[in-house]
Structure 1
Amino acid sequence: RGIVAQRLVKRNCNYCAETYRIELQQEYWLKSVGFNDFSNATFKKGIGCSQCNNTGYRGRVAIHEMLILDEQLLSALRRHDVDEFTAIAKKSELFTPLLESVLALAASGQTSLDEVMRIGETVEQTDLLPGGDTPAIEQEKQ
């Protein structure tokens, strides 16, 4: 049993996406959400071309948030204890937040940091699990 949420983010155009050095503001933002290891990250953004109508993006890719329900979470749900459910879920190793999913896409160059920050702001505004610490981000090896 589990809970899954999905959103679509813009995919960098394969024809015009270029690797770039992130700006200081972007670096601060990334660190503020727990992304600290830039060693394996390849950040890219599209510069615009005829293939993407000069937008820098071509197509979309799904990001996912997933929470596998264990006995503790199910127990909190049965008792309608939202606060306990939230606290347990945020600490659970079985929880993968949307922000972690989109950060992995950006680190691999599939989407832009602008798109990550847009999603990050949306997640912060509509977070179903408010407050607490941001889960640590583990980068996937390419």
Structure 2
Amino acid sequence: MTATHPRGTHTARYAWAEGLTAFAAVMLALAGLLGIFRGIMAIAEDEVFLATPKYVFQWDLTGWGWIHLALGVVAVLISVGLFQAATWARIAGVGIAGLVIIANFLSLPYYPVWSVIMITMSGFVIWALCVNRNDAAGRSDVR
């Protein structure tokens, strides 16, 4: 190593990358569990959701419930792969977090505060999965 790179730089970067991956896995698991609960609430036709008759994207709440339930289950399964540091899980995690953002944006009028929270959580998942990538040698691409 050169004088510009202290001896523990790669170790610190690797620890930072592992921490971000664990953060993304926990956040994705939480977002998935919350999506599952939201899906169950909508399928049960609970009175928790708002009725918005003049919204551009109008679908039945039961349909939204199934969409959020399916996205939640997939998110939880992908988070298990993230805990094992699988590359496929990192790619799939970004994809499912993006789908969760889209689904929550489209269902924003039905439960606005919850949708904003889920969009924010999924945004943090995407950030954590994209900010740092580890290769097999344990090095980090962050400079």
Greater Rg by CA: 2
**TM-score, normalising length: structure 2:** 0.32
Q: Could you say which structure has the higher strand fraction?
A: 1
**TM-score, normalising length: structure 1:** 0.32
Q: Could you say which structure has the higher helix fraction?
A: 2
